[in-house]
């Protein structure tokens, strides 16, 4: 167990180095640099050149990369040109919001997926299964942003059940119980909209896994032991079918990144996804590169979590 984890974490290091190199190169490949947007065009080009020299922008790329990465490791991701504040502080605020939104989405995703997948897999080819698979096909086909807009229109504007933007009502005091409840209240609609779409693949996976496991030989062994249908399902089919679902958990995190970018913009929710789109339109390069790097790390960590979960639940993967 520990051996596998340590080995797996060591593999992560080169992955992150390559990722940071890629992000750095891409940022450098974009036209212009930090000074192009920052400085008034009426300034003397010689002064700009002097500034470039002073900021190290004329150094070879590997020196610049080294400067950037050492500062990033110390938590200094540079300065946002638009907000005129450190990128780390800017992202820090937003990250907390996105974290809660993602967590709520994940919880809702599994709350929807597991019961639907079980019903659909266990009673396959019945009316209930047809309805559930029908929903998953619609979910696969419907783009997230259309669904989110519809949800916002119906439950936010028409019925007025949920707030239509922000992460908390203005004027609440942080730390109070109402503040927490208000936060959750603001989370629900965007999280639900996203969960309704992201859950469909998990429902399908679980359904297929259950149908597949039902026909495995060890299920016949269990029946031949005299186990009741209920017991066969709970003790043998379910656990074996949930295994791949657990393995997909980490990749679910990667999927959330794309999802939150849409959702936060549609629901005007102040998270990393919204900041990402904004910084692209504002050419706020330092924020962008920092966000891409963070998203990349999140994806790598997601894969790591998948592997760790799988090694816990599947004895065949454990290394002695």
Partner 1 sequence: MDEELVKIKQLKTSFRVLDDYYAAVDDVTLTIYKNEVLAIVGESGSGKSALAFSIMGLHNRAKIEGEIYYRGENIANASPGRWNKLRGREMGMIFQDSLSALNPLMIIGTQIEETLLLHNPKISARERKIRVIDLLMKVGIPRPEKTYYQYPHELSGGMRQRVIIAIAIANQPQLLIADEPTTALDVTIQAQILDLLRQLKNEMRAAIVLITHDLGIVAEMADRVAVMYAGQIVEIADVYTLIENPLHPYTKMLLKSVPSSSGAKSRLHVIQGVVPALHKLPREGCRFRGRIPWMDASVHESNPMLHEVRPGHYVRCTCYQYFHFPDKYKEESSHGTH
Q: Is 66 in the site for partner 1 (CB under 8 A)?
A: no
Q: Whole-number minimum distance, CB 224 to partner 1, in Å? A: 4
278/314 with CB nearer partner 1: 314
Whether the Cβ atoms of residue 139 and residue 200 lie closer than 8 Å to each other? yes
42/230 with CB nearer partner 1: 230
Q: Whole-number minimum distance, CB 227 to partner 1, in Å? A: 6
| Number of residues forming the site for partner 1 (CB under 8 A) | 23
Q: Is 125 in the site for partner 1 (CB under 8 A)?
A: no
Interface mask toward partner 1 for 163-202; x: CB under 8 A? ----------------------------------------
Q: Whole-number minimum distance, CB 306 to partner 1, in Å? A: 17
Q: Is 313 in the site for partner 1 (CB under 8 A)?
A: yes
84/316 with CB nearer partner 1: 316
Q: Whole-number minimum distance, CB 231 to partner 1, in Å? A: 8
Whether the Cβ atoms of residue 280 and residue 245 lie closer than 8 Å to each other? no
DSSP secondary structure of the chain: -HHHHHHHHHHHHHHHHHHHHHHHHHHHHSSS-HHHHHS-TTS-HHHHHHHHHHHTTTS-HHHHHHHHHHHHHTT---B-TTT-SBHHHHHHHHHHHHHHHHHHHHHHHHHHHHHHHHHHHHTTTSHHHHHHHHHHHHHHHS-HHHHHHHHIIIIIIIS--S--S-SS-TTPPTTSHHHHHHHHHHHHHHHHHHHHHHHHHHHHHHHHHHHHHHTSHHHHHHHHTT--HHHIIIIIIHHHHHHHHHHHHHHHHHHHHHHHHHHHHHTT--SHHHHHHHHHHTT-HHHHHHHHHHHHHHHHHHHHHHHHHHHHH-TTT---
Taking contact as CB under 8 A, which single stretch among the options 151-159, 234-242, 253-261, 265-273 is the one that binds partner 1?
Answer: 234-242
Q: Is 243 in the site for partner 1 (CB under 8 A)?
A: yes
Taking contact as CB under 8 A, which single stretch among the options 85-93, 286-294, 302-310, 311-319 is the one that binds partner 1?
Answer: 311-319
Q: Whole-number minimum distance, CB 126 to partner 1, in Å? A: 13
Whether the Cβ atoms of residue 203 and residue 118 lie closer than 8 Å to each other? no
What residues are paired with 86 via a beta bridge?
79
10/224 with CB nearer partner 1: 224
Residue of 240, 260, 274, 279 that binds partner 1 (CB under 8 A): 240
36/228 with CB nearer partner 1: 228
Interface mask toward partner 1 for 210-229; x: CB under 8 A? ------xxx-xxxxxxxxxx
Q: Which residues bind partner 1 (CB under 8 A)?
A: 216-218, 220-229, 231, 235-236, 239-240, 243, 313-316
């Amino acid at each position: 167990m520990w051996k596998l984890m340590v080995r797996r974490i060591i593999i992560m290091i080169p992955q992150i180095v390559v990722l940071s190199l890629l992000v750095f190169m891409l940022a450098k490949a974009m036209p212009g640099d930090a000074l192009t947007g920052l400085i008034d065009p009426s300034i003397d080009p010689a002064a700009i050149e002097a500034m470039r020299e002073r900021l190290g922008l004329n150094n070879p790329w590997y020196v610049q990369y080294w400067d950037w990465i050492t500062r990033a490791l110390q938590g200094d991701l540079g300065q946002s040109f638009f907000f005129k504040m450190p990128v780390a502080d800017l992202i820090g605020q937003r990250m907390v919001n996105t974290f809660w939104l993602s967590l709520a989405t994940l919880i809702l995703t599994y709350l929807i997926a597991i019961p639907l997948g079980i019903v659909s897999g266990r009673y396959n080819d019945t009316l209930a299964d047809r309805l559930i698979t029908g929903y998953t096909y619609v979910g696969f086909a419907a783009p997230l942003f259309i669904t989110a807009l519809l949800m916002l229109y119906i439950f936010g504007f028409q019925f007025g059940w949920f707030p239509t933007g922000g992460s908390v009502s203005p004027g609440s005091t942080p730390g109070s119980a109402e503040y927490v409840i208000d936060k959750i209240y603001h989370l629900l609609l965007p999280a639900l909209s996203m969960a309704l779409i992201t859950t469909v693949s998990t429902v399908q996976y679980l359904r297929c896994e259950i149908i597949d496991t039902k026909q495995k030989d060890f299920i016949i062994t269990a029946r031949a032991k005299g186990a009741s249908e209920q017991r066969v399902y709970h003790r043998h089919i379910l656990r074996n079918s949930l295994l791949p679902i657990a393995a997909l958990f980490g990749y679910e995190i990667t999927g959330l990144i794309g999802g939150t970018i849409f959702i936060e913009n549609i629901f005007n929710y102040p998270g990393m996804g919204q900041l990402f789109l904004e910084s692209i339109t504002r050419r706020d390069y330092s924020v962008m590169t920092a966000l891409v790097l963070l998203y990349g790390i999140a994806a790598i960590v997601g894969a790591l979590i998948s592997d760790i979960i799988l090694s816990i639940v599947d004895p065949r993967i454990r290394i002695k």
